[in-house]
Amino acid sequence: MLILIWLRGLLSRRAGRLAAAAAGIALAVALPAALGAFLASAKATMTARSIQRVAVDWQVEQQPGQTVSVPMPGTSRQVSFARIDGFESRQAGQTLTTGAGQVLGLPAGYAATFPGELRLLAGNANGPMLAQQTAANLHAQPGASITVRRPGLPDTAVAVTGVVELPAADSLFQRVGAPPGAQPQAPPDNVLLLPEADWHRMFDGIARDRVRTQFHVRIDHRLPPDPAAAYTAVTGQARNLEERMAGSGLVGDNLGAALDAAREDALYSQVLFLFLGAPAVVLAALLAGLVTRAGAPRRTAEQALLRTRGASRGTLARLALAETALVGVTGVLAGLGLAAVAGRLVFGSASVSWWAAVLGLLVAAVTVLPPALRASTVADARRPVGGRRRSPIWLRYGLDLWLLAGSAVIFWITSRNGYQLVLVPEGLPQLSVDYWAFAGPALLWAGTGLLAWRLTRTLPGPFVTWTARPLAGGLAGVVSAMLTRQRAPLARTATLAALAVAFALSTSVFDATYRQQAEVDAELTNGADVTVSQTTATRAELAAVPGVSRVEPLQHRFAYVGSDLQDLYGIRPTTTRLHDTYFSGGTARQILDRLARRPDALLVSQETVNDFQLRLGDQIRLRTEDGRTVPFHYAGIVTEFPTAPRDSFLVANAAYLAHRLPTDTTYLITTDGTPPHRVAADLRGKLGPTAKITDVETSRQVVGSSLTAVDLSGLTAIELGYALALAGLATGLLLVLGFAERRRTYALARVLGATPRQLGSFVWTEVCLVALAAIVLGTVCGWALSRMLVAVLSGVFDPPPDSLAVPWTYLAAVAGLGLAALLAAGAATVRATRSPPLTVLRDL
């Protein structure tokens, strides 16, 4: 009965304070609970990305002397391999030979079934095709005749019809069944692809140890959305097939390898996004704790009164537990409800992480329960007057400075290695992550928070006096003395406000930079919002399509640098817009100006510069597939280029290139704000099925690592809304509660003759100090965190960001909301000081 009476009294007399504490707990629960829906969506995206990146799901290799009689699941094609002694070509009066190589026999329709396995560079795919490097080694081009040296059989000649690139060569030539350490260090340089009938005609009589047969399989992609579950399902199917083949074949599980890498990315994404949200959870817990602490003097007095009336310590403990349960359960339910609503609106799912409820109850137990149990006697309730107050132990020993130093050291150590996209033996991209790097931003956040506390707690009196003078006039010294006396609660409020601003700033800058680089990555692959090639349409016809704002032509063909066949692009340097990170040795404008000043200027890759020992101004003679030679001069280094492959390529002036060589024109289209996929659809309708049209929205889904495929827009909306709420509560709510605890001081000042205007100077000076701390310290801390977070994760992006993306509109909203909360808190307090002082003292 006593517990019910106590709770009813709290709800009637202290409802606002309980609601504030419950709001802090609700915020601590809402964000991690909403992460559940986001992570489920992110994992599904990672699984889909991993499936898209695999050219051939399984390579089932028939074992020597065995015959695979078990039907393959899904769609399969038989591929034959033959190891030969080498190739020979006679070009321009000289004989060129290669070392050992591989000849593959491909069935009809293979390229259509597995489109990621081949990329046609020149000629056509209707006959024998040479791999790009092999064609470079033999100086061969479509129409050339090469000799195949067959072991144990006479040499035979074939007429080449095309040159192809093998993007998935690592997995194509893997040793099926061999452990990762026994895999080839690199795929073979010398490869010939033949139609299936030609291969059997040439190699049916070759020694058995020189040939092998594989079945390339594309399985059913209806898999669980979680990469771990999809990996288990795929590897289980692969083992089942191996069991049914009874030793006659082994499965090279490329899809399983990709999903295995995605499992690691999924785990990393959980750590990353929980890490990004952790400061908000800590801030919400601190907010709940400070709200509870703000009522500590009144609570102590009430408990002491209960003790004098006969209440035991056990009774007080039960009352404290009841209050904690009330606040904790209310906050947890509110937080889960907010998370469910946000998940439904943003991700289309109300699924939440229920472990966040446990976290909320734990926060309630840590923040609400201890103050409720701390004091229980009349002696405890007495307020000390005077006496020396010692600084906290962490302040005396400089914990904040040690944390900042540790953050700098860890960041320096980890940033030297960074993150790199490495190649596993199966040739599938995987993100290599050093989780220790997260310690740098974590220590920075903790250190800057404690440093902000130190700075606001030790504000010099003259500075406070200077701040108060415009508001208090002659009372500036008195205001300064009172605020210096109250520096501990002032420091808590100012520090939490600064950390809330820092969280909003760092989160918004990181999210904006993440989105910016995802766009850059997709633009690098697609070239522009929409890219059109293989069309006879003119630039004017494309510009007339609704939604098209700008059309930039891009010339493209292939040319040899020495014996290396590379992509050659022609651009208009005065109108082309590129990022600085695409170039080395200068900004984009500086390098493009070099290209504009000299018609025959040529930009090459760093690899080409190293291989051929080039110096600026050196002449480079390019040879085309049809034997033409065109002179250029080396003018700079290009590291990335829209639509170009990741390896070596060349960039020249479009006018010079078109004058000297026939080229294909690709058009890079910028939209006027119309969604790129809609403009692409309109262009397909206008140009017909022969034109190749791609849009950046589609490309965004198939570039980068599985982590960068994750769309952060939903999480960003939740985090930024959360940061807004936190900034408003941290600035306004804590000030209101602090002012409420000083109602007795203000009432006594009124009794002694202070006017409301004079009391207002106390209030507005404190508001100004909190605002200054939040703006200055919060901005510095948030900017440092933003730079460190983006630097830590820069290796995830290709290319890394030129600069941080700053969402000024959102930051203006945060600043506006924080200032509005401060002004509202100050205005409410000033209005409260006008109440009759005797009424206030009697109520207290």
Amino acid at 687: L
* Spacing of C-alpha 812 from chain mean position: 24
Beta-sheet strand order (sheet of 145-149): 94-97, 86-91, 145-149, 156-159
Q: Where residue 295 falls among pLDDT bands split at 50, 70, 90?
A: low
What backbone phi and psi angles, to 5 degrees, belong to 349? -145, 135
Q: What is the pLDDT of residues 430-455, one digit of tens each?
A: 444 556 777 888 888 889 888 988 88
For residues 714 and 514, give the distance between their C-alpha atoms in angstroms, rounded to a whole number.
13
Is 57:219 a contact under the CB 8 Å cutoff?
A: yes
Task: Give the residue from 775, 805, 253 showing the smallest Cα distance to 511.
Answer: 805
Q: Which two tokens stand for residue 440?
A: 């740098």
Give the pLDDT of residue 601.
92
Give the pLDDT of residue 421.
36
Q: Which two tokens stand for residue 4?
A: 């019910």
Give the pLDDT of residue 56.
93
Q: Can the peptide bond before residue 151 be classed as cis, meaning omega within 30 degrees of 0?
A: no
Q: Which of 172, 188, 218 is at the close of a domain? A: 218
pLDDT: is 399 or 423 the higher one? 399
Give the pLDDT of residue 431.
46
Give the pLDDT of residue 511.
80
For residues 306 and 310, give the distance between their C-alpha atoms in angstroms, rounded to a whole number.
6
Q: Where residue 427 falls among pLDDT bands split at 50, 70, 90?
A: very low
Helix residue ranges, H only, 692-755: 696-700, 713-728, 734-741, 743-751
663 within some domain: yes
Q: What percent of the chain has a predicted confidence (pLDDT) above 90? A: 13
Give the pLDDT of residue 631.
92
Is 575:668 a contact under the CB 8 Å cutoff?
A: no
For residues 573 and 555, give the distance between their C-alpha atoms in angstroms, rounded to a whole number.
12
This prediction's pTM: 0.69
Q: Which of 218, 238, 262 is at the close of a domain? A: 218
Give the pLDDT of residue 268.
66
Question: Tokens 């050992």 appear where?
Answer: 100
For residues 325 and 257, give the distance between their C-alpha atoms in angstroms, rounded to a whole number.
48
pLDDT: is 423 or 581 the higher one? 581
What are the distances in angstroms from CA 280 to CA 27, 207, 723? 8, 68, 8
pLDDT: is 410 or 217 the higher one? 217
Question: Residues 831-841: what's their mean pLDDT?
Answer: 67
What are the distances in angstroms from CA 171 to CA 115, 132, 420, 535? 14, 17, 20, 34
Residues 6+ apart with CB under 8 A from 614: 604, 608, 620, 634
For residues 563 and 578, give the distance between their C-alpha atoms in angstroms, rounded to a whole number.
29
51 within some domain: no
Task: Give the residue from 408, 391, 389 showing the smallest Cα distance to 448.
Answer: 408
Domain range enclosing 617 = 548-671
Q: How many structural domains does the chain have?
A: 2
Q: Where residue 428 falls among pLDDT bands split at 50, 70, 90?
A: very low
Give the pLDDT of residue 238.
92
pLDDT: is 525 or 226 the higher one? 226
Give the pLDDT of residue 795.
58
Give the pLDDT of residue 237.
93
Question: Residues 611-631: what's their mean pLDDT?
Answer: 86
What value does the CA radius of gyration of the chain take, rounded to a whole number of Å? 35
645 within some domain: yes
Angle at 254 between CA 249 and CA 257, to 5 degrees: 120
Q: What is the pLDDT of residues 134-163, one digit of tens each?
A: 887 888 888 889 999 999 889 999 999 988
Give the pLDDT of residue 423.
35
Give the pLDDT of residue 122.
76
Residues 6+ apart with CB under 8 A from 643: 525, 526, 527, 531, 554, 556, 569, 666
Give 712-724 as a DSSP string. -HHHHHHHHHHHH
Give the pLDDT of residue 84.
92
* Spacing of C-alpha 715 from chain mean position: 11
Secondary structure, 3-state, 112-157: HHCCCCCEEEEECCCCCEEEHHHHHHHCCCCCCEEEEECCCCCCEE
Residue 377 pLDDT > 60 = no
Q: What is the pLDDT of residues 31-76, one digit of tens each?
A: 788 777 777 777 887 888 888 888 899 999 999 888 888 889 989 9
Question: Residues 261-278: what's their mean pLDDT?
Answer: 73
For residues 528 and 519, give the distance between their C-alpha atoms in angstroms, rounded to a whole number.
10
What are the distances in angstroms from CA 475 to CA 269, 398, 546, 782? 55, 34, 67, 35
Residue 293 pLDDT > 80 = no
Q: Where residue 424 falls among pLDDT bands split at 50, 70, 90?
A: very low
Give the pLDDT of residue 120.
83
- Number of neighbouring beta carbons within 10 Å of residue 70: 15
Q: Which two tokens stand for residue 553?
A: 């032509």
The SS3 of residue 220 is coil
What backbone phi and psi angles, to 5 degrees, belong to 766? -65, -40
Q: Where residue 633 falls among pLDDT bands split at 50, 70, 90?
A: very high
Residue 500 pLDDT > 60 = yes
Give the pLDDT of residue 60.
93
Residue 670 pLDDT > 90 = no
Residues 6+ apart with CB under 8 A from 471: 479, 760, 761, 764, 765, 768
Residue 384 pLDDT > 60 = no
Question: Residues 603-622: what's their mean pLDDT?
Answer: 88
Domain CATH code at residue 645: 2.40.40
Question: Residues 199-225: what's their mean pLDDT?
Answer: 90
For residues 214 and 83, give the distance between their C-alpha atoms in angstroms, rounded to a whole number.
14
Is 630:661 a contact under the CB 8 Å cutoff?
A: yes
Q: What is the pLDDT of residues 181-210, one digit of tens each?
A: 667 767 888 999 999 999 999 998 888 889
Angle at 62 between CA 60 and CA 68, to 5 degrees: 95
Residue 340 pLDDT > 70 = yes
Q: Where residue 528 falls among pLDDT bands split at 50, 70, 90?
A: confident
What are the distances in angstroms from CA 533 to CA 536, 567, 666? 9, 15, 5
Secondary structure, 3-state, 369-436: HHHHHHCCCHHHHCCCCCCCCCCCHHHHCCHHHHHHHHHHHHHHHHHHHCCEEEECCCCCEEEECCHH
634 within some domain: yes
pLDDT: is 726 or 599 the higher one? 599
Q: What is the pLDDT of residues 297-322, one digit of tens each?
A: 666 667 777 777 777 777 777 777 88
Q: Where residue 843 falls among pLDDT bands split at 50, 70, 90?
A: low
Question: Tokens 């890394």 appear where?
Answer: 800
Question: Tokens 């140009």 appear where?
Answer: 687
Q: Which of 166, 197, 218 is at the close of a domain? A: 218
Helical pair 487-526 and 476-485, crossing angle rounded to 10 deg: 80
Rank 128-132, 262-266, 290-294, 583-587 by mean pLDDT and report only the highest: 128-132
The SS3 of residue 236 is helix
Give the pLDDT of residue 39.
77
Report the mean per-residue pLDDT for the chain.
80
Is 719:726 a contact under the CB 8 Å cutoff?
A: no
416 within some domain: no
Give the pLDDT of residue 699.
65
Rank 319-328, 479-488, 767-776 by mean pLDDT and report only the highest: 767-776
Give 752-758's long-range contacts (Cβ < 8 A, gap of 24+): 756/830, 756/833, 756/834, 758/472, 758/475
59 within some domain: no
pLDDT: is 631 or 292 the higher one? 631
Give the pLDDT of residue 286.
79
Give the pLDDT of residue 430.
45
Q: Where residue 516 falls among pLDDT bands split at 50, 70, 90?
A: confident
Task: Give the residue from 218, 206, 212, 203 showing the smallest Cα distance to 248.
Answer: 212
